């Protein structure tokens, strides 16, 4: 499995694990608006795009792709889509294990997303934070629950990320959902520099 595909797939699966949303309209939000963020949901169908810029062993790289994601309680299915609209790989996540499948290859399994990341890359991504971010939530540097809004759209997380909710979309009841999210992490003694941008499509 090529490194770029492994990297993009695992980042995508990690970013999506636990994310949820509601039906939205493709509308913009006035800067400074104070609408409440939508509550977390356990069941969702969504799609979007992800761009990853990374440093691996001192060398820069970047990957992009689309995704399709389906979640119900206890089960997440993620498809990674190439720019040519081909399904490159899929991941299934349950409380017991995560399974990565490519066409023509035997599935790879691990106990959870963190373990699958270690298996594919040799180091772990902070997926526990990512499962909150796509819904407008995070744990800040002081360990407190952060709830984002268009007027309060950035935070440094407890696990060392600078997180910014760049734009929003309006959901049911006028509640806000993230549309464009940027997360950046500086290099440390145990991890390389990483930046990712996720753009969520409206849900019909």
Q: 16: pLDDT confidence band, cut at 50, 70 and 90?
A: very low
Look up residue 30 and give its two tokens. 């006035």
CB 17 within 8 A of CB 132: no
Q: Is 196 helix (H, G, I), strand (E, B) or coil?
A: strand
Q: 68: pLDDT confidence band, cut at 50, 70 and 90?
A: confident
Report the alpha-carbon distance of residue 123 to residue 192 in Å, rounded.
Answer: 9
Print burial letters for 111-130: b (CB count within 10 Å at least 16), e (below 16): eebbebbebbbeebbbbebb
- How many C-beta atoms lie closer than 10 Å to residue 31's C-beta? 10
Look up residue 62 and give its two tokens. 């970047």
pLDDT value of position 129: 67
pLDDT value of position 32: 42
pLDDT in tens, 124-182: 555 556 678 878 989 999 999 999 998 999 999 988 899 999 999 987 778 888 999 99
pLDDT value of position 164: 97
pLDDT in tens, 18-36: 433 333 333 344 444 456 7
CB 179 within 8 A of CB 36: no
Return the bridge partners of 20, or none. Answer: none
CB 185 within 8 A of CB 193: yes
pLDDT value of position 199: 95
Sign of CA dihedral 22, 10, 84, 103: negative
Report the alpha-carbon distance of residue 50 to residue 112 in Å, rounded.
Answer: 21
pLDDT value of position 203: 59
pLDDT value of position 5: 53
Pairing of the two strands 154-156 and 87-93: unpaired
Report the alpha-carbon distance of residue 71 to residue 177 in Å, rounded.
Answer: 17
pLDDT value of position 143: 94
pLDDT in tens, 176-204: 889 999 999 887 766 678 888 999 888 55
pLDDT in tens, 99-132: 888 877 889 898 877 677 667 755 455 555 667 8
pLDDT value of position 103: 76
pTM, to two decimals:
0.74
């Amino acid at each position: 499995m090529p490194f770029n595909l492994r990297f993009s797939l695992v980042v995508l699966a990690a970013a999506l694990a636990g994310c949820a949303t509601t039906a939205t309209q493709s509308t913009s939000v006035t800067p400074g608006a104070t609408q409440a963020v939508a509550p977390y949901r356990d069941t969702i169908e969504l799609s979007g795009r992800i761009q990853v810029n990374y440093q691996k062993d001192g060398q820069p790289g970047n990957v992009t792709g689309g995704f399709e994601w389906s979640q119900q309680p206890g089960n997440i299915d993620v498809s990674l889509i190439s720019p040519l609209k081909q399904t490159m790989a899929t991941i299934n996540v349950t409380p017991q294990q995560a399974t990565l499948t490519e066409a023509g290859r035997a599935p790879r399994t691990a106990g959870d997303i963190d373990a699958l990341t270690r298996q594919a890359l040799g180091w772990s991504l902070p997926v526990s934070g990512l499962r909150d971010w796509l819904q407008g939530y995070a744990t800040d540097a002081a360990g407190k629950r952060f709830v984002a809004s268009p007027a309060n759209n950035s935070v440094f997380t407890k696990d060392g990320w600078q997180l910014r909710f760049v734009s929003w979309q309006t959901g049911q009841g006028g509640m806000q959902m993230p549309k464009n999210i940027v997360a950046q992490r500086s290099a440390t003694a145990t991890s390389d520099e990483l930046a990712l941008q996720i753009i969520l499509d409206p849900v019909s």
